[in-house]
Amino acid sequence: MKKLIILFLFLIPFLGFSEWYEFGPSSIQTNDICFVNFSSGQNVICTSTGIFIEDSTGNWVEYSYGLAVMGAIPYDNENVMLILSGGSYSDGVYLFNFTTHQFTVMEWCYYPKFVIFIESIQQYFVGYQGGLITSGNGIDWTIIETFNDKKLL
């Protein structure tokens, strides 16, 4: 009984902190969510058919390039960096412009799996089926030789 009371007292602070809120359309399956804190302030939901962006009226609008969007990270005030993957020669790193709603390819890479930005060294990294690539500006990409031809699971 003493152990049960101690366990209960330990859990009390956590009971009120587990609230979930629906974000985005309820009918979609999400691969990733990117919260953009720039002047445009638009959030991006990545799906197997494209991206969803909330418009000024609270409606979610889908934009598609015909490939699954596996991940997204903020890039600048007008763009978000995406990785598109569908097992085709169109796979790679793209920018999506919030104003023009256009996708622009930055680098081709087969089956990209993740994109991250490490702020302390100002570097982007994309893991894909052939290894790992990096860029300091999102435009010029180089292969990290240590990971060249290493397969992601």
- What is the per-residue pLDDT across 54-97, written as a single tens digit (0 to 9) for each? 887 878 999 999 999 999 999 998 999 999 999 999 999 999 99
Phi, psi dihedral angles at 132 (to 5 degrees): -140, 130
Task: Kindly report whether the global pTM for this prediction surpasses the value 0.95.
Answer: no
Share of the chain above pLDDT 70, in %: 80
**CA separation for the pair 114, 134 (Å, rounded):** 12
User: Burial code of 74-88, b = ≥16 C-beta within 10 A, e = fewer?
Assistant: bbeeebbbbbbbeee
Which segments of the chain does DSSP mark as H helices, in order?
Answer: 2-11
**CA separation for the pair 59, 44 (Å, rounded):** 13
Tokens of residue 25, six digits: 């359309």
